[in-house]
Each structure stands twice: as structure tokens, then as C-alpha cells.
Structure 1
Amino acid sequence: MDNAQSEKVHVLIIGSGPAGYTAAIYAARANMKPVLYQGIQPGGQLTITTEVENYPGYPNGVQGPDMMIDFEKQATRMGAEIRYGIATKVDFGLQPYKVWIDDEKLIEADAVIISTGASAKWLGLESEQRLNGYGVSACAVCDGFFFKGKEVAIVGAGDTAAEEALYLSKLCTTVHMIVRRDQMRASKIMQERVLNTTNIKIYWNSETDEILGDKKVEAVRIKNRINNTTETVPIHGFFVAIGHQPNSDIFKPWIHMDETGYIQTIPGTTKTNLEGVFAAGDVQDKNYRQAVTAAGSGCMAALDAERYLSAKGLV
């Protein structure tokens, strides 16, 4: 590879949600001269979120994209170098670690912070994408509050779907739960809780035919897979809980992950199985997946990287 296309940095941060930007803020303040590549979705999942009311410091709430602009501005002011580009290949065989951006530029880094996030799995309906942020959501904990005292629907049958249905049942009048088969995949105890909650109505052997509404969610058309009949249910919110996919594919040969691709970190740290490689945010967190927890782990990753580089005499 042409040397003009390669560059050496102390700390490379891959990804730009709350975890990546917070890592950049801390790393820049520690004079580690971090370089951050924003990835395929600058700002991460929060850029497709409208109102954020549960992040401390915004007493009147904030639009997700505006919040990520604030994070980026703060990281830049501290001295982090924010760049647009996608990490397409890595070689973690030898140090310094090699990361290729957009298949052409080679970055060699003493330490790497992976904060590539996770993407919600969607049903693939046009209406789902069109109404995303206007009643359609992939996070009940984030957005359930906006539907207090209203009827909502949720699709999914695993533990996350069960947990989110129960969460919504405490806020909403009725939760219409759409389950594809004649049983749920959730653990027995979660199934029992759902079945014993009077305001959760389950539609077995069913799938979402269409989400109805012009500028916001107004109803869902549910199709029974056995007899092909459809039923239209008026709702205000539609929650998709069919899982998340961590954006970790390019790291697979090098980094230890669980069976679904979440990066495994040493408990209480952001350290991976490779020294000098750290992971923060939703790419390593399948339990909480909140902006505030992602930001917290971004801070941890920068501090872990600083201690690592310091011990090596590199900063």
C-alpha cells in the first residue's frame, strides 16, 4: 500500500454514537490526540430518534440528532479529530493495529476503541421506516413514556419483547403483542408474567401486515397466518422488539464475541481479549442499550486506553 495513504495515530475510535464521542472527549482531554471515524451512521441510532427525555442535563428534552451534534462539537472543541469514513477491514495480528478506512486509507493505531454500536432489526415494511420516530420505535424504555395512557402494539416473542411489553403495560392502557408462532421464545418466567398481565393482549400465529397512518401511527393491520384473516387495531405507538444486530462483523477473526456477535469485554472494564483494543457502547452491551450507559462506557474506554498507553510509555 502507498505510504501516502497510511497514517499513524495514538488512539483510533471507530464509531460515533454517545460511546465514541464520549471516548473522544476524554481521550482528547488526556492529550492522546484521538482520531474518530464516524462510520455509516454519524451519531449512531440517536440520529433516527426524535425526542430524548431521559438523558441527564437536558431538562426540556432534546432531539436525538441535535444531541449528537452537541457531542460532536464538544469532542472537536477538546481537540479530537472527527472524520467521515467507514472502517472496512482490520488486521489486529501485530501492533500497531491496522484499520482500513473505505477500503483505501490505512490507519495504524497504538490503541483502538471500538464503538460501532448495534442496529435494530426491522420488519422491512415501508410504513415502518416512513413512520420511524412518528410512533414507530425499537426501544420501549426510550419512547414508551410518550404513549402514557394510550394503546400501543409490540412485535416480538423473545425475552426483550416480553420485557418491553411488561414495561409498556405499566404506562399504556392496552399493549397488543404480535407473536409469529403459537408460542413465545421468551423464558418461562417472562412468558408467565406476560400471560398474567391483564392489559397485554396477545395475537398468536400473527404478523404485522401494515402500520397505518399518514404523518403518525394511527393503527396496525394484523394478519393471522393460519386463516389469512386481517384485523385493524387502532394504536398510537408501534414497537419493534425482534432483536438487535451488533455492528461487529469486521472484528470477528480477532475479537472474542458471544454467539450473536456482541463483543465480550472483561467485566468491569472495556478491555477485549487483545491488549490495546477496547469496546464501548451497544456493540458490547446487549442489556441496557441506553445513550447514558453508552456514554459511560465510552468514558471507561478512554481511561482504559490512557492507562494502557501510559504503561507502555506511549503517552
Structure 2
Amino acid sequence: MEDKYSYLIAIVTLLLHHFDRVTCIFVTEWPVSVSTFENSTVEFFCEVHEKDDSMHLVWFTDMQPGDNRVSFNFANETVELNHENNGGQHSMEYDDTSGVQKLAYRITDVKVADEGLYSCGYIPLPIPQAVSSENFLGEIATLEVLIPPLESHPRCEVTGFDLIPFTNSSAIGLPLDLRCEIQGGRPTPDLTWYRNSDSVANGAEVNLLQHVLSADDNGVEFSCVASGKALMTNTSCSVTPLRIPPTASITSSSSYVTTGMNVTLICKGDGLPHISEIEWFVNGISPEKLEDFEYEIYDEQTGSESLSELNIFNSNFAKNEQ
């Protein structure tokens, strides 16, 4: 960051020093900083009007920010550049057919080694023997190279336990370590744990959530969401540590029912943390949709146990299976 500011200071200094020369140079477009994924193609553009003959257009590159070495290439030529830094393929294009000098710097198959500072600009003629940032006059753009994490990540697990989810109430009160891990990614994505839709913990690379199971966790999904610049869309994984299915049973007030009798059916439901609702069906049909079916329903909640009483009057459904 300090090097970038020093470049800007050098630009202002050189602008004042060469003010009588640069008043005839009008740059209408400078290169813009960009973040792009590895193996993609990126282009930087400049447009220059009425270049002064005492200045020469160049592309300035600093492949390793913080290094004092400065490289440049003449911008008024169309050339292919082969770099020996394990980077992508660099090329420049120059066009002045419209009277406006249009400069392009293109990198195909972008690599991390290409990350750095890029700009078009102009240096005074004659060209100094040793070109450094002090000889350069122009705006600076930054190239950031992104790499997504591995496709199978993030990964969620409950450490120390092979059989998840737990399916009986003996697991209630058990302390758990819920681990979310991501590999790869540049920059490293952020990881956030959610209990249902509520955020409960966040971190990077490895996110550990310590949680004590309670009855309220039955059937609850804990999800870990990865987000950041290295991801085109957020990705996630999830785990449900506790999954105890509810139970239900039906008893009748009479073991034998004939037409016209009143009968009471009782449905007992038990589940964690509780049964929120019991629904009645007769041959798969809700009682309220049946014609000439007289009934009343009474519901009762006691702790985790729920009772629902279906009273049928003048039953014409003696042979129907309840």
C-alpha cells in the first residue's frame, strides 16, 4: 500500500516538473482496477488525445508490488510479450486511425503471478537510461487474481461422532463441536454458521461452533455458508445433529361401532420439543370436507405430549378405517 502512495506522489511531482510539456496531452480514459478469476482474460485501456512529441507513450507494469524494479513497454506498437514469471500471455495493441490514440494491454489465461500494478502513461524524451516510477506519469490500476475454493467445499461435520444424526433423547445435553472447513479460495472466503436462519458464529478457513444439544434442536438444521469475492455465488453445507421422529397412536372409546353410535377417538402424539399440531383424516380426507359428518375436536398440550380427541356423532362410518 505504501508503494502505491509513493507512485502517486511521484506522479504529482513529475506533473509539476513537466507542466509546460503535458498541457498538450489529454488522457480521456485511464485503466481501471479489476478483480478477475484465474485463467480468464483481462484488458486495460487508455485513450490519449493530442500527445506532445516531447513525451513517449508507454505501458508501465510492476509485476511484484513492493519490488523496486520497474518495467515498461512502448505503447505505440502492437506486440506480443512473453513473460517468464509463470504468468499469462501479455499483449499490447495500439490504434490511432480515428485520430485518438487507443491503447490496450491484454492478459489471457491470467495467473496469480500477473497480479500487480498496470497503467499507460508517458515518459519524457529522450528516454532516461534507468526508468523508475519517478520517470512515470499516469494513473495506476491494480489487478487482483481470484481463485475459487474446491468444488466440494465447504464441508460440515460433527467432530468425534460417526453416527449423525442422533435419534434418541439420550443425546440431549451432549456438548458438540460443529466444524465447517473450506480449502482453497483466494482470498479466503468467510464462513458463517446459521441455526435455521439465525447467524450464530463466523470465521475463516475453519469455523468451529460449540453447541450443547437441547430438545429445541430436534430437527433443526445447522448450516455453514461460505461467502466472499472468490465465489461467484455463496455456497453452503449443513448438518442436523438431532433427529428424533415424533410418535402417534390412536385409541377408541369403543371396540365395536355400529351405525348411528357416537364414538370418541383419541390421538396421542409425542415429540421433541413438542407436537405443534395434530390433524385428523378419514380415509385420507379431512373431516371438514366430508358431507353429513358430525364431529367435534378437542386438543390438549402437556409438555412434549399432545392429545387430540375426535368425537363423532351418529356415525355412518362404522365400516370406515380411521
- Fold shared per TM-score above 0.5: no
* TM-score of the superposed pair, with normalisation by structure 2: 0.24
In proportion to residue count, which structure has more helix?
A: 1
* TM-score of the superposed pair, with normalisation by structure 1: 0.25
Q: Which has the higher contact order (CA 8 A, sep 6+)?
A: 1
In proportion to residue count, which structure has more strand?
A: 2
